[in-house]
Amino acid sequence: MQNYKNRLFITTFIVVNVFFILIARLVYLQIIRGDEYEKFSLENRVRLLNVSAPRGNIYDRNGKELVTNRASFDVNVFPNEIEDAELLSKNLSEILGVNRVKIEKKIKEAKRLNFYTPINIERDIDRDTLAVLEARRTELKGISIDVNYLRDYKNGKLASLVLGYLGKPDDEDLRKFDELDTEHFVGKTGIERVLQKQLSGEDGSNYKVIDALGREVKINLFKKNITNKDVVEGNDVVLTIDTGIQKVAEEQLGENAGAIVVMNVNTGEILALVSSPSYDPRDFVKGMDRNIWNKILTDKRFPLLDRATQGTYAPGSIFKIVPALAALRENIIDQDTEFYCPGFYKIGRKRFKCWKRGGHGEMDIREAITQSCDVYFYNVGDKLGIEKLSKYSRIFGFGSDTGFILPEKSGVIPDREWKMQNFHNPWYKGETVVTAIGQGYISVTPLQIAVMISSIANGGYIMKPIIIKKIISGDGNVLKENTPVIKSKLPFSDENMKIVRDALVNAVNGRHGTGRNARIKDQLVAGKTGTAQVVSMKTKSEKYKHEDHAWFTSYFPADQPEISVTVLVEHGGTGGSVAAPIAKAIIQEYIKDKNPDTGLVKNGKD
């Protein structure tokens, strides 16, 4: 047994050492770091705090800020730390100017629901209030002031329908975006909506050690920084919008209802997308104000409708470009074919009038476009027939979506089938000729017109309209860069395209041109006017609704086209008198932008 005695001696030695280590650890914890741990135990409140991710900024094509964030100081309370709910409500009510009973109710509700989750009392308090709150912190046990982000619209109403606004998520939003919770705002419309996932980023969570008064304690309780989840900033979005052009376009449209689309004809990039009337997104920043919201909803001019993409209108005479090219390709006419315009066109016993009562006399295709002769196109339409007319319309993209990222309408290209389905009636010849001058059942969006005119300008390419140039991550990496997308190529010969383009130049610059109001000295603008009759409006109660819609679509420069400008003014009158000058002003702005020497410096360090 002596053998074992030695082993037991060794065992005892091990036991002694182990207890020595344990006691050494006690010395370390209780004697050496005792004071520190005493502090921890006093300040022992660890909280899980949500750290809001800043939403991505939205910039214009030149890097100018359109939408950014600003800090909002929010007052929250932690139900578990409130000692005297009544007193706290009273004090908070004094400082914030919020109803005391309301605060008390909120606290009670929160205590009942979830003891440890903070509830919001007031958002976006001003700096003075913040100072008072901080000064009286000791009387306000249980509150915390958190920084959140609110949208900041640098240019006010500018492009508000494109940018969209944020709001509290509804059931549909919550279903659509799984990371979303009811505390976060979500993009409701526009870019904010379609790029919600890109812009929103991901919230982080932060474990903070907080003392009894709710102040964050800056003691290193844990070995590492205890941020459990880093904030992922939202991605920034660079739009193709040019703030300068957008601004001028909006100013030009003014109080009129209408839409403007400015597009780069070669890339499909949208430089300006205007719809009027619109709303001020700053009204929605803190959530919907019921009064403002009701006013917007009941406004008969629908300020929430983006007319450029979702308004459908008869295109009027600007549509004549389509039957012109169709007839040339189908060899129904050539560049020398002439029709006589006596001021009307007869089908059976029915007379279809030209806008010029006295008639235009002999017209060839160039003159017919230049002077917008209706009778010429009655002839063309009659000879083409509705099948071919609708076929070529669809080639230009009418009747279907353009592929734009924002919600759009596809409009109507009528034909026999369509009429049978919708009216249960056969198609009449007279309806064909009316369609040929862009009246009747046909309806298009300003964006579709912009795509059409751009295809004329760029040599026959139907471009997908693009409004997002780039998406850039918070740390500056380009995540996505949109490049031009050619949707299709028009089937027309260069000669025929040239005939139409010459006519469009003439329409603005010729002596008899209908678009002379868009003429710019020393520059060559090409364009086409349109005046869409408003005849079938169901509500005729309001007088202004009887007035025609004014259209003008154009591109510039005529010889080496860069941009197209499409203007629609609802109930504005004739295209030549109302819409053409607006397009002119926009093109002038574009020229000024491009050649800073000839005009004001636009992109300088102002």
Partner 1 sequence: MVKIDRRLLKNFGWTIMILTVAFCAIGLVNLYSASYYSGFSSFKKQFVWMALGFVTMIGVSFLNYNLFNRYALHIYAFSIILLIFVIVLGKEVSGSKSWISLGPITLQPSEFVKISLILVISRFYHNDFEDGPFGIRDLLKPIGFTAVLFILVLIQPDLGTSIMIILISGSMFLFMGVKRNSLLIVIISLIVVAFPAWNFFLKGYQKDRILTFVDPSVDPLGTGYNSIQSQIAIGSGKLTGKGFMSGSQTQLRFIPAQKTDFAFSVLGEEWGFIGSTSTLLLYFLLIIYILDTASSAKDKFSMLTSFGIAALFFWHALINIGMVLGILPVIGIPLLLFSYGGSSVLTSFIAIGIVIGIKMRQKPVPKEKISL
Residues that bind partner 1 (CB under 8 A): 1, 3-5, 7-9, 11-12, 15-16, 18-19, 21-23, 25-27, 29-31, 33-38, 40-42, 44, 46, 48, 207, 221-224, 226, 228
Of the pair 21, 101, the CB lying nearest partner 1 is at 21
Closest distance between partner 1 and the C-beta of residue 225, in Å? 8
- Asked if residue 46 lies in contact with residue 203, where contact means CB atoms within 8 angstroms, the answer is no
Of the pair 41, 421, the CB lying nearest partner 1 is at 41
Q: Which residues contact 274 (CB under 8 A, 6 or more apart)?
A: 159, 246, 249, 250, 253, 258, 259, 260, 261, 308
Sign of the alpha-carbon dihedral angle for 416, 418, 421, 427:
negative
Of the pair 177, 207, the CB lying nearest partner 1 is at 207
Closest distance between partner 1 and the C-beta of residue 114, in Å? 16
Of the pair 35, 522, the CB lying nearest partner 1 is at 35
Phi, psi of 242 (to 5 degrees): -105, 110
Q: Which residues contact 184 (CB under 8 A, 6 or more apart)?
A: 52, 169, 200, 203
Of the pair 230, 289, the CB lying nearest partner 1 is at 230
Q: Which residues contact 3 (CB under 8 A, 6 or more apart)?
A: none
Clarify whether 473 is annotated catalytic.
Answer: no
Helix, strand or coil, per DSSP, at residue 344 = strand
Single out the residue of 165, 138, 148 nearest to residue 58, CA to CA. 165
**Position of tokens 């409701």?**
188
From the list 52, 72, 317, 393, the catalytic residue is 317
Of the pair 141, 528, the CB lying nearest partner 1 is at 141
CA distances from 285 to 68, 71, 161, 304 (A): 12, 12, 15, 16
Closest distance between partner 1 and the C-beta of residue 204, in Å? 15
Closest distance between partner 1 and the C-beta of residue 38, in Å? 4
- Cα–Cα distance for residue pair 561/565, rounded to 1 Å: 11
Sign of the alpha-carbon dihedral angle for 432, 435, 440, 441:
positive
- Asked if residue 552 lies in contact with residue 576, where contact means CB atoms within 8 angstroms, the answer is yes
* Strand duo 563-569 + 549-556: pairing: antiparallel
Q: Which amino acid is at 383?
A: K
Could you tell me the strand order of the sheet in which 549-556 lies?
Answer: 270-276, 258-264, 563-569, 549-556, 526-532
- Asked if residue 234 lies in contact with residue 200, where contact means CB atoms within 8 angstroms, the answer is yes
Of the pair 220, 294, the CB lying nearest partner 1 is at 220
The catalytic residue positions are 317
